[in-house]
């Protein structure tokens, strides 16, 4: 039985990863400071004999014995990572240094969840791993974009200098149950607005594109990367299907049956125009490709938020 550390384990992705690893018989240690994570995400596992939750901030050193480290800790939505930009970049830099230091000491494999944001407002489409990106180093998003770029640098330097066994994954837009109601990302925003009967906010003309990967597909890709010998990455994980924001808004309106209307607001500063992963490397090296289409994934995500909002409304009565 492997003992596996998941930083950011009470977050959206982290909680799904913990659940998947438990289902495979692993002994899971979940680390989270609950800045953007939520204890409700891991509540079903708290009584599990092989699950342990430790409230800890990765900007401080951590000492324990584990066989693998999945380093997910970092706010991932613009609302959360811009709320405390200094905290975000500290998490990316100091947190990654601390986790790499732990991996070096105990000689275990560490996987970093980086992001498609390292490509910035890409000039190449779709984005391959060989593309170096087009990122504003002093913009509002740079605490996250540049923070993740530095985290990748640290991973490679610890690998080259100290022979740390690393894996780097660049995650593209992922969605599904356990996203926060006030998450601020486009899928959750549209669904929550639609279910509340509020206007659906589209920024700009809605012609900008995104590619949406369902959470179960992403988690399978992470585990395949961790378990793969001889390939450190970086590797893109995401869904190749490209949709405009207008496409997504119309799908959500149709699938929720809402009477919400679309309203338009100015495009946020440094918002990427097009975002689509080239996943040919993941297919070749991991045998991985996403299986869940957007309509199928939205159906279960809408059902989750419907239950979440109804539970919240009942609790207020």
Helices (H), the chain: 12-23, 39-42, 78-83, 85-90, 96-106, 142-162, 186-196, 215-227, 245-256, 280-286, 294-316
Measured CA to CA, the distance from residue 146 to residue 155 in angstroms comes to 14
Euclidean distance between CA atoms 143 and 135, whole angstroms: 11
Nearest to residue 69, comparing CAs of 3, 11, 24, 116? Answer: 3
| Placement of tokens 């905290």 in the chain | 87
Catalytic pick from 144, 158, 175, 214?
A: 144
- 203 among known catalytic residues: no
Are residues 102 and 159 in contact, defined by beta-carbon separation less than 8 angstroms? Answer: no
Q: DSSP of 103-134, one letter per residue?
A: HHHHT-EEEEEEEGGGGBS-SSSSBPTT---B
Angle formed by the axes of helices 215-227 and 12-23, to 10°? Answer: 60
166-171 vs 109-115, strand pairing mode: parallel
249 vs 194: CA distance, rounded Å: 9
Residues designated catalytic: 144
């Amino acid at each position: 039985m492997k003992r596996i550390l998941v930083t950011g384990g009470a977050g959206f992705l982290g909680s799904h990863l913990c659940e998947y690893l438990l289902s495979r018989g692993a002994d899971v240690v979940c680390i989270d400071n609950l800045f953007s994570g939520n204890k409700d995400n891991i509540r079903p596992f708290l009584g599990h004999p092989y699950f342990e939750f430790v409230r800890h901030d990765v900007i401080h050193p951590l000492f324990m014995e584990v066989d693998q480290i999945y380093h997910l800790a970092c706010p991932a939505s613009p609302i959360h990572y811009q709320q405390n930009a200094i905290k975000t970049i500290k998490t990316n830099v100091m947190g990654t240094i601390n986790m790499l230091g732990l991996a070096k000491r105990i000689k275990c494999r560490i996987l970093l969840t980086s992001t498609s944001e390292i490509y910035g407002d890409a000039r190449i489409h779709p984005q391959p791993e060989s593309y170096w990106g087009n990122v504003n180093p002093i913009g509002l998003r740079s605490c996250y974009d540049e923070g993740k770029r530095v985290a990748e640098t640290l991973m490679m330097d610890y690998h080259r200098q100290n022979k740390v066994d690393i894996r780097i994954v660049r995650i593209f837009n992922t969605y599904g149950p356990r996203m926060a109601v006030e998450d601020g990302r486009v899928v959750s925003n549209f669904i929550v607005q639609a279910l509340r009967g509020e206007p659906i906010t589209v920024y700009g003309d809605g012609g900008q594109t995104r590619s949406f990967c369902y959470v179960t597909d992403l988690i399978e890709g992470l585990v395949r990367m961790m378990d793969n010998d001889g390939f450190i990455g970086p590797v893109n994980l995401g869904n190749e299907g490209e949709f405009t924001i207008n496409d997504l808004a119309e799908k959500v309106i149709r699938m929720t049956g809402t009477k919400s209307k679309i309203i338009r607001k100015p495009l946020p500063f440094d918002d990427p125009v097009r975002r689509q992963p080239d996943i040919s490397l993941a297919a070749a090296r991991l045998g991985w490709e996403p299986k869940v289409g957007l309509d199928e994934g939205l159906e279960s995500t809408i059902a989750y938020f419907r239950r979440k909002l109804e539970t919240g409304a009942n609790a207020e009565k």
